[in-house]
Structure 1
Amino acid sequence: MSGLLGDLSPAQAETLVKFRKALSQEQLLRKKDDDYTLLRFLKARGFDLEKAKAMFRSMLEWRREVGADTIKEVFEFPERKATLLLYPRFHHKTDKLGRPIYIERLGQLRADELLKITTLDRVFMSHVFDWEVLIDSKFRACSEKVGRDVRQTLTILDLKGVAPKHMSKPVRQFIQKIAKVDQDYYPEYLGKMIIINAPVAFKAMWTVVKPWIDKRTKKKIEVCGGNFTGKLLELVEKENLPEFLGGCCSCVGGCEHSDAGPWNVVAESSIDSHVIA
């Protein structure tokens, strides 16, 4: 099989067949579980069949606990726009490989103010909601635009302004919870992560965060200081990159609120006329 996960060896292809059969026999297989979905779990566990089964089973249990299958229909988050001002995190257009770009500006997190208008539990549920929209809608739209399967993202984590206050115990616990969800229940969706504006103190912070991240994910992470524009423009067309990241996109109302991308044709076409030459 070729595609996002590369060609499989004969042994890996055989493991995939065994994995599908085992999940089917245990009545764990869902209709939407195509080979790519199963390969994500196999790859995350080094093609160890038993570990992949345990991971898949754990994912299904977690989805039942949080109601992930129905979250798009039942979860309402009217405070979303307000929370984005206090904790900017959003999808914005695509990179040169057609992957959705996820941008998070951790240095602009104002946790005390955020907790006055919502709870970390609700922010967490909005994170799960965004995952489900990404998988069901945004990946599909990106795939249709480039004419091939797109099921990974480019993440840009902006640490400009990050200080010790941003890593209070509740915030650390929240980030740890998010990291676990992303790795254990949505594995192998990350294509590449660029960490920019890493401060001098980042090494100490990285020591705290690193143990939460598995080896495969660590290999996808590249850390840059303040000179990051060149690296980002290797991955993203200038017109798709917000101004504050060195691009020329200036969305009406702010890129963090536009939801511009192939999944939102109206927003993207409207924004095209506001790209600075």
Structure 2
Amino acid sequence: MAWAHVTEKSEEGEPLTSAEQEILEKLQEHIGEEGKKQLTYESQLRYVRGYAFEAKNGGKEKWLEVAKAEADKTIKWRKEFDVNHLEVKSVPKWDIWEKSWPTAVCGTDTHGHPIIVESFKEFNLKELMGNFKAEDIHIYQARNMEGVQRRKALVSKKLDRLVYKHVYIMDCSGMTMDVLKARAQVQAIFHVAQYYYPESLWKLFIVNSPLVFRMIWQASQPFIHPITKAKIKVLSGKGLKELAAGGIPESQIPPSLGGTWKPDPEFEAEIQRQVAELSQEYQSLEASTTPLPSDSA
């Protein structure tokens, strides 16, 4: 991947403040070595920084309390569903999921944040509703998110600085009132990122927004946290000029949205190599925990 367009430092790459360092150390002590197997350093840092706003009303004690509680929930969830190996485990109906809610990860913005692109015109909401209960969707979206985390880690390595956030472009062309029928499933999809991958979103750009989206957006705004709301930009049309002003050049946008981005073979090969290593690790673990057949009498 060419990195000439990455001209700005990522916010998350800034050194920790003394308060952040203090909360991080206490969080690490709380989760212990077993917890660290589920939450990487970058993930731990997201829980520290993602809940720093709690200190405004409750001081450091409240900040640490919430960070610990939310990290505990995620660790328990990751252990229960073996999220560390989700990318390589067999997941029922995964082929249907990919057709129902396709997700693409393209280039990066000028800070190095990977760009997730999803489009309503490519979604199949009937298939989504017919095959997936809202309470089961977390596994499918988590598999997507684990892939995104892997890309962030590789970008961090390439740039030699920490990158743990992403840009999300939602193309709303093709959105109809059917989205309200699939509201439970759609909410479940966004719930995963909000609760299990906090402090991951850098910016969310809504493009090609039809009237139905603007109606939903108007009704939803009062319920969106101010911190999240500040990250959301609703653009007119494809919004290429606004995206460029927001640090996303056309070279990093897929052709479906008017850009010229193409996958970088070297970067993708490294991702595939890492996934292959994870698959080998998972197979070894499975083999070591599979009981040997008993001798027949």
TM-score, normalised with respect to structure 2? 0.71
Residue by residue over 1:119-170, the C-alpha shift from the partner in whole angstroms, topping out at 9 and shown as x without a partner, is 35776533211222222x31222223323222211110111121111221xx
- What's 1:256 paired with? none
Report the residue type matching 2:106 in the other structure.
Answer: H
Structure 2 residue 183 is the aligned partner of structure 1 residue 172: yes
| SS in structure 2 at match of 1:166 | helix
Alpha-carbon deviation of 1:180?
1.8
CA distance in 2, matches of 1:212, 1:65: 31
Indicate conservation of the 8 Å contact 2:116/2:169, yes or no. Answer: yes
CA distance in 2, matches of 1:54, 1:114: 32
Structure 2 residue 141 is the aligned partner of structure 1 residue 127: yes
Indicate conservation of the 8 Å contact 1:93/1:261, yes or no. Answer: no
Alpha-carbon deviation of 1:261?
7.1
- What's 2:275 paired with? none
Report the residue type matching 1:102 in the other structure.
Answer: I
Residue by residue over 1:226-275, the C-alpha shift from the partner in whole angstroms, topping out at 9 and shown as x without a partner, is 151112233223222122312124x6xxxxxxx767640499xxxxxxxx
Indicate conservation of the 8 Å contact 1:87/1:114, yes or no. Answer: yes
- What's 2:117 paired with? 103
**In the comparison of the two structures, how many residue pairs are matched?**
251
Q: Match for 1:194 among 188, 199, 205? A: 205
Alpha-carbon deviation of 1:186?
0.7
- What's 1:264 paired with? 268
- What's 1:242 paired with? 254
TM-score, normalised with respect to structure 1? 0.76
Which runs of structure 2 are paired with 1:1-277 in the superposition (5 Å)?
A: 4=12, 6-24=14-32, 29-31=35-37, 33=39, 35-46=41-52, 48-76=63-91, 80=95, 84=98, 86-113=100-127, 118-119=131-132, 124-135=138-149, 137-168=150-181, 171-207=182-218, 209-210=220-221, 213-226=224-237, 228-234=239-245, 235-249=247-261, 263-265=267-269
Indicate conservation of the 8 Å contact 1:28/1:57, yes or no. Answer: no
Structure showing greater Rg:
2
CA distance in 2, matches of 1:3, 1:145: 17
CA distance in 2, matches of 1:237, 1:109: 25
The 1:14/1:261 distance shift into structure 2, 3 A limit, reads: farther
| SS in structure 2 at match of 1:183 | helix
Bigger Cα displacement from structure 2, 83-92 vs 197-206: 83-92
| Structure number with higher helix proportion | 2
Q: Which runs of 5+ in 2 are unaligned?
A: 1-9, 56-62, 272-297
The 1:5/1:97 distance shift into structure 2, 3 A limit, reads: closer
Q: Which runs of 5+ in 1 are unaligned?
A: 252-258, 268-277
Report the residue type matching 2:268 in the other structure.
Answer: N
Deviation >6 Å, runs of 4+: none
